[in-house]
Amino acid sequence: MIKECEVLVVGAGPAGSSAAMAAAENGARTLLIDRKKEIGTPVQCGEVVGETLLKKLNLELPPGALAARLDHTTFLLDRRVKLTSREPYWKSVTLERKIFDKALAARAAEAGSMVHADARLTDIKMDGDQVVRATIMHQGVEVNVHPKVIVAADGVHSTMSRLMNLELFTEKTLAKGLEYELISRQPLPMGMQIFLEPEVGLGYGWIIPKGPRRANVGLAAIGLEGSRRDRLQEWLMNNPMITEQFDTDQVLEVKRGDAPIPGFLGGPLRGNVLFAGDAAGQTLAFVGEGIAPSYACGMGAGMVASTAVLQNDMSKLQHYEETIGKIMGDELIEGGAIKDNILEVWTDEKIPVGDRTVICGLLMSEILGSEDLEDATDLLSMPRQEMIQTLEEILIHRKARATVSALQLR
């Protein structure tokens, strides 16, 4: 049965569960709701998170949530350049999100939060800029609660945003994706593979291993139009590096989702509502990774919300941006800056589209920085082997733990 609360958290993904856990641990009467009948389903992302972020956040993975450890990332650029980075930042782990998300919600419950699946926010009542009542449909029964603070962690298509008539980010900052969980023909290298090429568009494709012969294979792009399934099928069937590894007749799961990549929005806070996770665009914008940033920012939202409630001082909510900045601000701001550089290159029609994808990949992998953009077109005008040799010299000069080689598929 849903009871009254001081802090209402909407959405039991990483942001919502960490917010509920932090608020409850701090002593606030907390309610966490999720519209799904089973928290963690369906999976709507690539399920990968950077190992350095896990360590930074001291986030211990729940038993059974670790699918694979990936010790490198390979960037495959316009089917012409292969770059493999073994820098710590590009090491990662693949999760079983169904297990991970449910375990985080369980941690919130263990901290003292009420948790209810199959509980959907349907309406709110506003008094000025404050939400004074939330209406929840719980297992077919309508319930009203009157929280002092709300954490809206209900995803990229946030119900709370819609009910408050807010647009925190637009379609132009939304990457739409689809992936299949596939079985490979042979053992996979234990590294993520990222594909940047005109066939994908303004985004990237990926192979994310979940085991020796199991992987998430998909793509996401801004401005993706038409059938996602048709776009993915066409790419899978026509990319020789994919067809060499996978048979698309062996699909274990279909996962569809959207990733917001607006860059750091400074919170956001509206009235007594703290937006967190995908609902706030809290992702590493240049790659769209949201699991760890959402968890971190949700934790900050829960701390701020509970402090405001316990001190009976709603002005404390104004500390949300500062709190997020301390926890995750550098990563969010830097990710937004890299994303802006990538957009600048992608929209420069003076550069051939294939060259654009190579430059975007070099920016994403952080082999090139914004200060190198003027020289990047000269790099791409070189004969292929000379270009590879120049890239090797750049890697040596920067003491990067990375290798580069030429692909002959274009």
The domain ranges of the chain are 7-45+98-170+262-336, 48-96+171-256, 346-406
pLDDT recorded at residue 57 = 93
Mind listing the pLDDT tens digit for each residue in 248-296?
899 999 999 999 999 999 999 999 999 999 999 999 999 999 999 999 9
198 pLDDT tier (thresholds 50, 70, 90)? very high
The stretch 396-410 carries a mean pLDDT of: 92
Asked whether the beta carbons of 121 and 138 are under 8 A apart, the reply is no
Do the domains spanning 7-45+98-170+262-336 and 48-96+171-256 agree at the CATH topology level? no
3-state helix, strand, coil in the chain (%, to 5): 35, 30, 35
Cis ω on the peptide bond leading into residue 42 (within 30° of 0)? yes
The answer to whether residue 377 scores a pLDDT higher than 90 is no
- Write down the architecture of domain 48-96+171-256 according to CATH: 2-Layer Sandwich (3.30)
Q: How far apart are CA 313 and CA 207, in angstroms?
A: 48
376 pLDDT tier (thresholds 50, 70, 90)? confident
pLDDT recorded at residue 246 = 96
* Residue percentage of the chain with pLDDT more than 90: 92
- Provide the β-strand partners of residue 119: 138
pLDDT recorded at residue 234 = 95
Structure tokens given for 168: 């925190």
The answer to whether residue 374 scores a pLDDT higher than 90 is no
Global confidence as pTM = 0.95
Structure tokens given for 333: 């701001």
Mind listing the pLDDT tens digit for each residue in 68-91?
999 999 999 999 999 999 999 999
Mind listing the pLDDT tens digit for each residue in 109-152?
999 999 999 999 999 999 999 999 999 999 999 999 999 999 99
- Provide the β-strand partners of residue 143: 136
pLDDT recorded at residue 372 = 84
Structure tokens given for 212: 């020796």
375 pLDDT tier (thresholds 50, 70, 90)? confident
* Residue found by looking up tokens 């240049």 in the block: 286
**Residue 212 CB contacts under 8 Å (≥ 6 apart), including other chains:** 187, 188
* Residue percentage of the chain with pLDDT more than 70: 100
pLDDT recorded at residue 210 = 98
Q: How far apart are CA 222 and CA 341, in angstroms?
A: 15
- In this structure, how many other beta carbons lie within 10 angstroms of the beta carbon of residue 311? 10
Radius of gyration of the chain (CA): 22
174 pLDDT tier (thresholds 50, 70, 90)? very high
Q: How far apart are CA 368 and CA 371, in angstroms?
A: 8
First to last CA, the chain: 60
Q: Mean pLDDT across the chain, nearest whole number?
A: 95
The answer to whether residue 223 scores a pLDDT higher than 90 is no
Mind listing the pLDDT tens digit for each residue in 21-58?
999 999 999 999 999 999 999 999 999 999 999 999 99
**Residue 39 CB contacts under 8 Å (≥ 6 apart), including other chains:** 12, 101, 102, 105, 117
pLDDT recorded at residue 370 = 83
* Correct CATH for 7-45+98-170+262-336 of 3.90.1510.10, 3.40.50.720, 3.40.50.2300, 3.50.50.60: 3.50.50.60
pLDDT recorded at residue 281 = 95
Q: What are phi and psi of 298, to 5 degrees?
A: -60, -40
Task: Output the CA torsion sign for 117, 120, 124, 130.
Answer: positive
The answer to whether residue 316 scores a pLDDT higher than 90 is yes
